[in-house]
Amino acid sequence: ARSSWGRELCEERPALILVAHKQFVALVVSMCCELGQCLGTVMLGVGKQGVFGLHPLVILFFFVALDSLANIILVLAVSGALVPRSPQGDALFEADRQRSEKQKCRAAAYQACADEQWQETVEALAHRGFTLGKLLDFYKQLPKVMPHFSPDIHTTNDVVRQAIIPQSADQKCAISVKMMGGKKLRPQKMVTHNWSNLFRDLVAAIVADALHESTFSLVAYLLDSDMAALERMLGSKALETSYWVCAFSVNQHQSICASNPTQAVDPKTGVEHSVCACGADVYFNTTPPLRSDGASILCQMNKFDDMMAFLSATDPEFAQVIAIDRGFGLFNRAWCVAELAAADNMGMRQHLKLASRGALRENESARHLRDLDVATMQASRPEDVKEILAKIPDVSAFNNHLQELLFGDQGLFDRCKHFDVLEQAAEVGRAALFADAMQKR
């Protein structure tokens, strides 16, 4: 409990103790059955008369049968199969069925942009995925590129300015292209995140997704203390999971590298972020050439929804990972909220990643979440907010839909709070893995 992860895990103690009790009972019953089998085997071997006049072979068969029956019952009990299906579980199942039908309808109706150059830019973006293994390699090398990097201080914006841009300046490309050795890769998942979040927590949320976990505090701890243990937990298959993250997958040399309009500084050194002198052509929302609606054809930042539509239409398993910062500031960022709504509209699976369930309990009733208004949200560039609002015909209806998406009966927060018996067992397993990792340090 001395680590932040340990303190957060204590919040789930009652549920975890219940599951641990079931597992302990299963272990004790199994041991008793094994002892009975050993007793029967010994009696049979020495030719000794059985208990209560029973032949040792009968005793042996009895305990073998009892062991098998006990294992079946205990597996069913621990798995939750003996618990009646809850109305909430049925509702979530129905919500997922409707989501799947929506995805099929959107995919069938999908049409590529008539402007070939626009569509080429969309599909180029859509093939800039990278594997989790390459992301962890980047994270491990980060202290060499950014020697003063501090996981508890530096944000994604800091890492973009001081590591991602400098490392990709020689090729004037997205860092994902260099990470993958120039190989094009379609991502399995797109990560929605805000750049003011700790970079460590962004990476931790992505790793948590690959581990099928809904919280990332344990992962964040291991990122800082024992990367080898974390990689053992992941295994080779999970390390091949592919992601799309704007900070890595957008070519920053064609967008922000040449300017620092807010004079942002490093939070540790106080030194203003330097700008890049690569000289690459920059394309913003209204940089020519323009489409008939006035949108820049070569700009990458105005094509996220088109890219999501393309990937979702051509891959029904394409999903969204929502990496929520500890202060829930993501929901005040215009691009993030626009991506949430776009993914929901396309019928994509959406996976929330939180620091802890306690963070959700603390923030879900906060006024800044209950009063979300897309018209007042922020973006790094004011023109981005204008572009997002221009795509929303009815802001009030959009805000209502956003509240339903987050707080509805089958909304994102409700699904995250659904902590069933299997997830409880997984949480106990995570605690065991954590203890094992600490033992091997």
**pLDDT of 198 over the 70 cut:** yes
Average pLDDT, the chain: 84
**If you average pLDDT over residues 371-378, what whole number do you get?**
85
Diameter over CA atoms, the chain? 96
426 falls in which pLDDT band (50, 70, 90)? low
2 falls in which pLDDT band (50, 70, 90)? very low
Tens of pLDDT, residue by residue over 107-123, are 999 999 999 999 999 99
Six-digit token string for 269: 């050194």
Tens of pLDDT, residue by residue over 326-350, are 999 999 898 899 999 999 999 999 9
What's the confidence (pLDDT) of residue 131? 98
Its sign, for the CA torsion 94, 100, 103, 105, is negative
**If you average pLDDT over residues 26-30, what whole number do you get?**
70
What's the confidence (pLDDT) of residue 344? 93
439 falls in which pLDDT band (50, 70, 90)? low
Tens of pLDDT, residue by residue over 396-418, are 988 888 888 888 877 778 777 65
Question: What secondary structure does DSSP assign to 285-303, as a single string?
Answer: TTPSSB-TTS-BSS-STT-
Over pLDDT 70: what percentage of the chain?
Answer: 75
Pairing of strands 130-131, 242-245: antiparallel
**pLDDT of 363 over the 60 cut:** yes
Nearest to 40 by CA among 68, 12, 59: 59
**pLDDT of 192 over the 50 cut:** yes
19-28, 265-274, 374-383: least confident range: 19-28
34-43, 45-54, 263-272: least confident range: 45-54
89-103, 160-174, 262-276, 308-322: least confident range: 89-103
Tens of pLDDT, residue by residue over 119-162, are 999 999 999 999 999 999 999 999 999 999 999 999 999 999 99
What is the pTM (predicted TM-score) of this model?
0.82
What's the confidence (pLDDT) of residue 76? 61
3-state secondary structure of 179: helix
Six-digit token string for 77: 């009990």
**If you average pLDDT over residues 241-254, what whole number do you get?**
98
Tens of pLDDT, residue by residue over 286-326, are 999 999 999 999 999 999 999 999 999 999 999 999 999 99
Over pLDDT 90: what percentage of the chain?
Answer: 54
**pLDDT of 430 over the 80 cut:** no
What's the confidence (pLDDT) of residue 1? 45
What's the confidence (pLDDT) of residue 12? 54
**If you average pLDDT over residues 37-48, what whole number do you get?**
62
Per-position b or e across 378-404, b if 16+ CB within 10 A of its CB: ebbbeebbebbeeeeeeeeebbeebee
Choose between 389 and 424: higher pLDDT.
389
**If you average pLDDT over residues 208-223, what whole number do you get?**
91
